[in-house]
Chains A and B, each alone.
Chain A
Amino acid sequence: MNFLQHVINGLVIGHGYALIAIGWTVLLGVARLVNFGHGQMYMLGAFVTWFSMSSLGLSYWVALPIAVLVGALVGFIMQRIMLNLTIRQDLVSVMIATLGFGYILEGVAALTFGSTGQILDTPLSLRDVYWGDLWFTWQDIAVVLVTIAFFIALKLVVEHSSVGRRVRMVAEDPKLALLAGINVKWVYLGVFCFEGAAVALAAGMVAPRTPILTSMGFDEVIITFVVVVLGGIGSVTGSYLAGLGIGIFTAFFGAYVSAAYSTAAMFVLLIALLVLRPNGMTQSMARH
């Protein structure tokens, strides 16, 4: 496999990582919260897309929005249950609650969809593109384009819209935001909905690249954690760049060293960068 093919693989993987992490970026930047059920929400998004297509006979273009809606609903329910913990910023309880919620999702998914691996084929993943010696699929192109479009849209909304301004106000100082007439609880609920919807979209886009299992999710939450921390907690641009960087690193490490150790190598890279740049690569949405 030539060098350019590794670059393409890295770009696709990296955009996928960034897309998976985008919801957490906003969640951590705004609510100062983590969601260790993020990986299982990714799994659920993938299986809702798969189920809608394989069992309900819906097209990919209908299944994907359904997965996004289900993701948003799961995010809403999760946050509604934890709202008091969120308001109190009780991080330990939130971590335990989200972890438990993730395992509940995994159990429910296994009962609903079964425990065997599935392949999520889409009209895009089945169409190959050959360009000289290079190979990729239309799904890969879609992952890159959707990720770029999503990040540009998110950046515009966060920095230039009234909604984004409110979110930034809550991110910086939720108490002061109350005195600006902002309903902080609704902002928290909205952010969790967004996270659920975003990770479901990511699942519907990225999961067709690999077999899907109801037990998956751990790798995704680890990757998300690395991307968000490396990018600077809460930084939209930082998450995009971190996702891209890790994707390219993973592709090259897997090709030239060993794919089996790429997650471990990712953490070595994270630790090294955190020592050199403790705040991540860029500024966050709530810190100057």
Chain B
Amino acid sequence: MSISPEYVLQVENLNAEYNGNRALVVEQLGLREKELMGVVGANGAGKSTLVGAILNWSRGAAKVSGRVWLDGEDISSLSTPERVKRGLLLIPESQLIFHNMSVADNLAHHATSKVDGRHIYSLDDVYDLFPNLALRRDNMGWQLSGGERQMLGIARALRMAPRVLLLDEPSIGLAPKLVSAVLETVRQLADNGLTVLLIEQNVHAAIEVVDSMALLDQGHVLAKGSVDEMRGDPRIAEAYLGGEAS
């Protein structure tokens, strides 16, 4: 397989292993411009490993191989900070903000150069998007609620001029109402032109906002397609939607 110009972000033979145990084997996956793709799967399916591998990042000691292209550039040999500087922004599951820094301090760190025309969200932009953060700008990260932390995590990424946003389980630990609010914000960002890869275990909530979906199982992509195609996929329907394939 070779690089396809239709994709903003593309991965090929992306593998990850922990202490010799294979956790991820993705032959090919691509995101189109302004696409919001959901990656779903059970616990341990390799969802978090996938987004970490795209950035060559892990909280553990994952060994990653394979190729990653961003806007046609092979970034496989770049370090994590270099990939971030090119606009690959990951908001990890839990521990997604600096708890001992204020909200304002968390947001003060932003992209300053070489953004290749990408939009750097200003402080006003992010405070408009998340008014709660504006009210709590002097609070420390550890003083925020789960939903506010998620918002701050996204806001922090927006300040870094994202080309592609990778969100790892933003709904985890949130009340249903907050889950909807966070995912609607993600949808809004995609509508505004951002390309987003959304890792989500809450398939019911994710399916309402994404454009396309990929089903991950034991590190392999079992199926992928538009949200309508995937809604009708029996594997999705049986495992995540209570058997109600439409």
Residues of A in contact with B (beta carbons under 8 Å apart): 162, 165-166, 168-169, 172-173, 175-176, 178-184, 286-288
**Chain B positions 78-104 with a Cβ under 8 Å from a chain A Cβ:** 79-81, 84-85, 89-90, 92, 95-101
Question: Shortest Cβ distance from B72 into chain A, in angstroms?
Answer: 21
List B contacts of A162 (CB < 8 A): 108-109
Q: Is the CB of B98 within 8 A of A172?
A: yes
Does B55 interact with chain A (Cβ within 8 Å)? yes
CA distance A270 to B160 in the complex (A): 44
Q: Is the CB of B57 within 8 A of A168?
A: no
CA distance A235 to B198 in the complex (A): 39
CA distance A177 to B105 in the complex (A): 13
List B contacts of A173 (CB < 8 A): 95, 98
Closest to B101 in A: A168
Q: Is the CB of B59 within 8 A of A181?
A: no
Does B178 interact with chain A (Cβ within 8 Å)? no
Contact among B81, B89, B100 with A168 in the assembled complex (CB-CB below 8 Å): B100
Residue pairs across A and B with CB atoms within 8 Å: the count is 58
Can you list 9 A-B contacts with CB-CB less than 8 angstroms, sorted by A residue number? A162-B108, A168-B98, A168-B105, A169-B101, A172-B101, A176-B97, A179-B84, A181-B84, A288-B99
CA distance A184 to B111 in the complex (A): 16
Q: Shortest 8 CB-CB distances between A and B: which pairs?
A: A181-B84, A178-B80, A288-B100, A181-B81, A183-B81, A181-B85, A172-B98, A172-B100
Q: Is the CB of A178 within 8 A of B57?
A: yes
Contact (A181, B160) CB under 8 Å given A288-B99, A288-B140: yes
Does B156 interact with chain A (Cβ within 8 Å)? yes
CA distance A178 to B89 in the complex (A): 11
Q: Is the CB of A180 within 8 A of B84?
A: yes
A-side interface mostly:
helix
Contact (A172, B99) CB under 8 Å given A165-B108, A166-B109, A179-B84: yes
Does B18 interact with chain A (Cβ within 8 Å)? no
Contact (A180, B109) CB under 8 Å given A168-B100, A172-B101: yes
Contact among A175, A180, A183, A286 with B100 in the assembled complex (CB-CB below 8 Å): A286
Question: Shortest Cβ distance from B219 into chain A, in angstroms?
Answer: 22
Question: Shortest Cβ distance from A191 into chain B, in angstroms?
Answer: 17
CA distance A184 to B160 in the complex (A): 17
Q: Is the CB of A178 within 8 A of B98?
A: no
Interface string of B149-161 (1 = CB under 8 A from A): 0000000100010
Closest to A169 in B: B98
Q: Is the CB of A182 within 8 A of B95?
A: no
CA distance A182 to B83 in the complex (A): 11
Q: Is the CB of A176 within 8 A of B100?
A: no
CA distance A168 to B59 in the complex (A): 19
List B contacts of A172 (CB < 8 A): 98-101
List B contacts of A175 (CB < 8 A): 57, 59, 95
List B contacts of A286 (CB < 8 A): 100
Closest to A186 in B: B81
Q: Is the CB of B57 within 8 A of A169?
A: no
Contact (A179, B80) CB under 8 Å given A165-B105, A169-B109, A288-B140: yes
Closest to A183 in B: B81
Contact among B79, B95, B111, B160 with A176 in the assembled complex (CB-CB below 8 Å): B95
Contact among A179, A181, A287 with B92 in the assembled complex (CB-CB below 8 Å): A179
Given contacts A168-B101, A172-B98, list 15 more A-B pairs with CB under 8 A.
A162-B109, A165-B105, A168-B98, A175-B57, A178-B57, A178-B81, A178-B84, A180-B84, A181-B81, A181-B84, A181-B111, A181-B160, A288-B99, A288-B140, A288-B142
Contact among A165, A182, A287, A288 with B81 in the assembled complex (CB-CB below 8 Å): A182
Closest to B140 in A: A288
